[in-house]
Structure 1
Amino acid sequence: MTGIRRRLRHLSDWANSLFPSVRLPGLLILSAAVLMLTPVCRPCLYLSVALNLALVALALADYRLLKAVDQCEAWRERDDVFSVGARNPVTLSVRNRSALSLHLEVGDEHPHEFTADGESPRFRLDPDGTWQHTYYLVPHRRGDYRFGRLTLRARTPLGLLQRQRAFDLPQPVAVYPNLQDVRKYNLLGRRNRLEQMGLRRLRVRGRSLEFESLRDYVPGDELRHVHWKASARKGKLVTKQYDLERSQHLVIALDLGRTMASRLGDLTKLDHAVNASLLLAHVASFCEDYVGLVAFADEVVGYLPPHKGRHQTGRVARFLYPLEPRLAEADYRGAFLYLGQQCRRRCLIVVLTDLLDPESSAQLLHVLSPLTRRHVVLCVAFGDYELAELVSRAPRQQRELYEHAVALTLRQDRARALAILRSRGVLTLDAAPSDLSIAVVNRYLALKEEALI
């Protein structure tokens, strides 16, 4: 009895996975048209019967040929960690182990919160052939997500029926801050081409250089650093590598208040700030500085003590991963009192916030000024391109006039707050969201070059 039920369930699954193709209804319509001519032409009846019998025979043959789909294999390859706001590659592969050519369409059940480029690919796969296709997903929020099934829809050269087969491939994926900028920095750094990323070279003036080690010459190295004796022994150019006295302290203060919840493009302001924090922390760790973080809203949400070394980038990524904006006013006073208790020595404090609201801007001005007595403070604010568009656009209706006036007032309040900060010894940076990460890192490198930290 159990075997009969299993076979009936298998036949039911088969029936549910079969679909007629476009070709089959067309042939049925042709047969019906021939049948309608029977009153006028008696032989059309026999022709219609012959067509229907031929269709049934071909459909049965197609049904049997579609069993070749059972010999297909499909799998998905992707990174375990995705980067928010970036294009993350996903590679789909299909292998045909049958002796029949198949026309296939592949559908991937990715998290619906992600944006995918392109449509479901269609292709022909020969016997013992393998097909690969890479498409890209853009996640818009950090967090834990899950892939679902990978579906194949197949038809044979006869093309009367289609069969759909699903592969259960549940795979978790975690969306972290933008790790692709970190990987790009590592790659271009090894090739001495950081300018391609928009980053400046670090040239520290007025400090002694201490010999550290030898390494292979790469294009762009200064000839005065070539070790000619070692080059002669090895038969290739070898460069002397120097170390700087450069273990400064950097603390990133990340605002999680309500103003950071608004969206600029596909990401929130906090997402842009988180991506900039991760790249800045990685570059600072690469420069052998101590890097720490504090995240706050109406209270201190978390604190990562400053540490030195390449492993600090991973700690920073894990610290930033769960952070979300809160619908509360940022308590700058409480956050920086806490930070002052934790950081006793001089350091560079990079504050990533938004100066949109006059009241919160006034509170920030009151808190940051005393910090400049012991620390170097850099306040990073978002250049809101939406406000710039509203101000530059000529109003044509009464509503647009109100929007123009509000946008102009907000921009003036913002410019006034930044000017007051600069007058009180606080360094400022106003950058567009798309350029924020590179702008923050370049400002940090400039401060190191000028020996201000």
Structure 2
Amino acid sequence: MHFLRSFYIHNTFFRYLALLSACFVLSYWLPWLYPVAWLLTWVLLGLFLFDAYLLYSHAKGLEAKRKLPQKLSNSDVNPLSIQFATHYPFKTYISIIDELPIQFQKRDFIHKTSIIKGEWKTFEYSVRPVDRGEYVFGSLNVYASSPLKIVKRRFVFQKDQMVPVYPSIIQMQHYDFLAISNKLTEFGLKKIRRIGHTQEFEQIKEYVRGDDFRTINWKATAKHNHLMVNQYQDEKSQPIYSLIDTGRVMKMPFNELKLLDYAINATLAFSNVALKRNDKTGMLTFSKNIESFVPALQKITHLNTILEKLYNITTEFTDSDFGLLYAHIKRKVTHRSLLLLYTNFEHISGLKRQLPFLLAMAKHHVLVVIFFENTELEELIATDAEDLQAIYHKTIAEKFSLEKRLMQKELQRYGIQTILTKPEDLTINTINKYLEIKARGLI
């Protein structure tokens, strides 16, 4: 059975059969072709058996291994690779079929190449998961054939490898590098303006491009004969919580990724940046119930706790209870904190239902309500209307877009900080708002 499961016929063999069939048909009109056709038949049979012998005379004709990371990063392009080598003494033609996890719904994976004895080759490809969870890679199938290309032998390697898909670790590492190198404060990465200084004085240093010219120390400049500036140190160890709504409003997908996953990726990257800047970070998820709560701590190892909690978050198809959220915050978060609330409001009536609870939280904390633009509606608004139905659709889209901006104005009227953002810009806009609040000394 093992032999039969590994034994395949190459497509070229069927071409040879087609030629033989044509010879037999033509021999009806050309009698001399009939014995030639039989001779070719016996030659093909001999080559068939010889090709099978070549492939099965080596018990271990091929080696191959799939190289997977310990974790895949959600919503990012993750590079993978397959390494393979042959022990056959002839040039081997191979086809690689990797059984990708069912979540990718990809059934046309194939890579064809040739390889000589003693040579190791690497085939690199990439995958982009859009859901968190366990991804199981099936068998790595490698089909080998000789230069005759009559028979193929299948080799099976590495069955059922499971790799978990976590929130965007690649995105977190990107912003981690910017935080360490202090590039988050360079022009173009944060769109804020420092208003005054509520930070403690740290040192006098030489002016570099990007420093606020208002901090120039003229006495030190005159003494050293080049520009010197005062450097201030932000207040540290301030508690910051990411509040993630897991209700039905966060189920909406954009670019194959749910709003919840955008919020999760932003929470991970932002928490890492805040920890590197010596603030305490925590998180809370809620819908009808409080699903998880991580108290704010200032330890870099605390990021692993947040990562594991984010990995297991799922959306619910119910309306979220903001009253329960307020009660939990009032009971568990006793110090004035920065609260980043990831949610979504599609109608101003939905906002007004939750406004009393938002105002109650904003009374004791700095609350930032983060909700999303509907990018598909914006694309519809940007297109030209060519008929009456298109005008109707565009008018409705503009009405919904206007409601989003009105909701933002309504929250700002009550002194609540807001971020209205495209899903793909969520992380950088959240970090910008955090840096702005720190610069203004609001917490």
TM (norm. structure 1) is: 0.84
Asked if 1:50 corresponds to 2:42, the answer is no
What residue identity is the alignment partner of 2:18? I
Identify unmatched segments of 5+ residues in structure 2.
Answer: 212-230
2:198–2:440: 8 Å Cα contact kept in structure 1?
no
Greater Cα shift, 297-306 or 361-370: 361-370
1:353-364 map, 5 Å: 353-364=343-354
For these two proteins, the number of residue pairs brought into alignment is 417
**Aligned counterparts of 1:197 and 1:162: Cα–Cα separation in 2:** 59
Query: 1:280: how far off?
Result: 1.0
Aligned to 1:134: 124
Query: 1:192: how far off?
Result: 5.3
Aligned to 1:21: 10
Asked if 1:77 corresponds to 2:67, the answer is yes
1:289-438 map, 5 Å: 289-396=279-386, 400-438=390-428
**Aligned counterparts of 1:396 and 1:40: Cα–Cα separation in 2:** 66
1:384-404 Cα deviation digits (max 9, x unpaired): 111222334455556545543
1:274-285 map, 5 Å: 274-285=264-275
**Aligned counterparts of 1:365 and 1:431: Cα–Cα separation in 2:** 20
Q: Which one of 119, 124, 138 corresponds to residue 114 of structure 2?
A: 124
Query: 1:380: how far off?
Result: 0.8
**Paired residue secondary structure (2:364):** coil
**Paired residue secondary structure (2:299):** coil
**Aligned counterparts of 1:194 and 1:349: Cα–Cα separation in 2:** 21
1:119 to 1:170, Cα distance in 2 relative to 1, 3 A: closer
Aligned to 1:106: 96
**Aligned counterparts of 2:338 and 2:384: Cα–Cα separation in 1:** 42
Query: 1:437: how far off?
Result: 0.7
1:245 to 1:323, Cα distance in 2 relative to 1, 3 A: same
2:62–2:155: 8 Å Cα contact kept in structure 1?
no
Aligned to 1:261: 251
Aligned to 1:60: 49
Greater Cα shift, 407-416 or 35-44: 35-44
1:224-279 Cα deviation digits (max 9, x unpaired): xxxxxxxxxxxxxxxxx997541111011111111111111211111111111111
Query: 1:362: how far off?
Result: 0.8
TM (norm. structure 2) is: 0.86
1:202-213 map, 5 Å: 205-209=197-201
RMSD: 2.8
Asked if 1:176 corresponds to 2:166, the answer is yes
Query: 1:449: how far off?
Result: 2.0
1:192–1:220: 8 Å Cα contact kept in structure 2?
no
What residue identity is the alignment partner of 1:79? P
Aligned to 1:149: 139
Aligned to 1:164: 154
**Aligned counterparts of 1:49 and 1:196: Cα–Cα separation in 2:** 80
**Aligned counterparts of 1:416 and 1:40: Cα–Cα separation in 2:** 86
2:370–2:418: 8 Å Cα contact kept in structure 1?
yes
Query: 1:38: how far off?
Result: 3.6
1:310 to 1:209, Cα distance in 2 relative to 1, 3 A: farther
What residue identity is the alignment partner of 1:138? R
2:176–2:272: 8 Å Cα contact kept in structure 1?
no
1:24-56 Cα deviation digits (max 9, x unpaired): 222222223333344544432321122111111
Identify unmatched segments of 5+ residues in structure 1.
Answer: 1-8, 212-218, 223-240
**Aligned counterparts of 2:420 and 2:329: Cα–Cα separation in 1:** 23
List, as ranges, runs of 4+ consecutive aligned residues in structure 1 with deviation greater than 6 Å. Answer: 115-118, 195-198, 201-204, 219-222
Asked if 1:32 corresponds to 2:21, the answer is yes
Query: 1:118: how far off?
Result: 8.7
**Aligned counterparts of 2:82 and 2:347: Cα–Cα separation in 1:** 47
2:55–2:153: 8 Å Cα contact kept in structure 1?
yes
1:7-18 map, 5 Å: 9=1, 13-18=2-7
1:47-70 Cα deviation digits (max 9, x unpaired): 112211111111111111112473
Greater Cα shift, 438-447 or 117-126: 117-126
What residue identity is the alignment partner of 2:438? K
